[in-house]
Amino acid sequence: METDVLIVGGGPAGLHAAYVAASNGAKTVVVDESFSLGGQLRQQTQSFDNLPKQFERQSGTRLAQELIERLVPLNVTTLLKHTMIGVYKDGRVGVSNGSSTIPINAKKIIVTTGAAEEASVFPGWTLPGVMTVGAAQILLNREHVHPGKNAFILGSNTFSLEVAKQLTDASVTIQGIIESENKLHSKNVKVIQQVKDAGLPIYLNSSIVSATGLGEVDRVILNDNGVEVEFDIDLVCIGAGVTPILEPFEILNCSFMYQEGLGGWVPQYDKTMETSTPSIYVAGNAAGITCMGAIMLSAEIATINSIEVLGILDRKHVVEKKESLWKELHRIESNEIFKARIALMKESKNEKGLPFAPFSKSD
């Protein structure tokens, strides 16, 4: 298979990248290991604010539908239930559906594989009924299955609180939101207020001592500020945060850097979103954990830069477009994450022995 742009990952970043590439005339292939496009958006019923300016405020499920529908009339080939498994000596990428492998010769590759949820370990954490908040959301919103009746939410980041609210709306009783520190981790004032308005119990400076049950969790011991309390619980949702998925970049021989503000280890990349391996670009949460609007903007930045090199775009238009995209990213993304991103790009330039110039019309 021959293509101008190969996109690995069919979530929000991959879908937006595919639209930008194909709508500008680039032949595009999207590879995703799942049975349908959309990634995590498929079960995210919460609404997203601060999306790129061409999108209105909407739920994740509605956004997924819009991103998929935009691709229908374009020159985009989609390979579902396919996984990138290796690189041939001549540079072609091998993708497999488990029974056969397709070699793809791509001029540019954009990796948008997103992030994976982290787990918290405690006695009984492997029992059925203990799962990540993302798994609970899939069961509830995509499979329409109640994951439990009485739940603990372990962790208080924004995603955890959003899922807690969704479980409550589905008549799952939240027995408590457990946070090991003395304040909630979420910085989303609106989401915190929704949780408080719903009257959900919050346990600060607390932790799970153990989960027990015969074949599945049915009881949890909570350490509440030094006092152990026993609860009848059949669902524990772990919200320990997410980290970028790095395996495809290892296959593509990319270098990595550690940047705590972006979620830990991420691929080394410059301000074009190109990694240390020429013609390999990164976008979305794989380039650092961020908000939905920034996930999509990073995909557009990476795509514009990749197809510019192919001579598809007008140079003057590209310069103006890239500057506006970086300004919008700066507006949407939190200062902490944006500064971490700039720091990584500066370090990437230093690694290559090149100066790091400020963003301007000359870039």
Higher pLDDT residue, 187 or 257? Answer: 257
Q: What is the pLDDT of residue 357?
A: 56
The per-residue DSSP string of 216-273 comes to: S--EEEEEETTEEEEEE-SEEEE---EEE--HHHHHTT--EEEEGGGTEEEE-B-TT-
8 Å CB contact between 131 and 36: no
Beta bridge partners of 95: 84, 102
Domains of the chain, start order = 2-116+242-351 (3.50.50.60), 136-238 (3.50.50.60)
**Token pair of 202 as six digits:** 């919050």
List Cβ neighbours of 257 (8 Å cut-off, separation of 6 or more): 265, 266, 267, 268, 344, 347, 348
Most confident of 68-72, 313-317, 352-356: 68-72
* Alpha-carbon gap, residue 103 to 90, rounded angstroms: 10
* Alpha-carbon gap, residue 139 to 13, rounded angstroms: 23
If DSSP codes are grouped into helix, strand and coil, which group holds residue 282? strand
Give 359's pLDDT tier (boundaries 50, 70, 90): low
208 residue type, one letter: I
Q: What is the pLDDT of residue 355?
A: 56
Label residues 123-156 b or e (16+ Cβ within 10 Å = b). ebbebebbbbbbbbbbbbbeeeeebbebbbbbbb
Q: What is the pLDDT of residue 287?
A: 98
Give tens-digit pLDDT for 46-68: 999 889 999 999 999 999 999 99
Give tens-digit pLDDT for 303-312: 999 999 898 8
Is the overall model pTM greater than 0.75, yes or no?
yes
8 Å CB contact between 76 and 30: yes
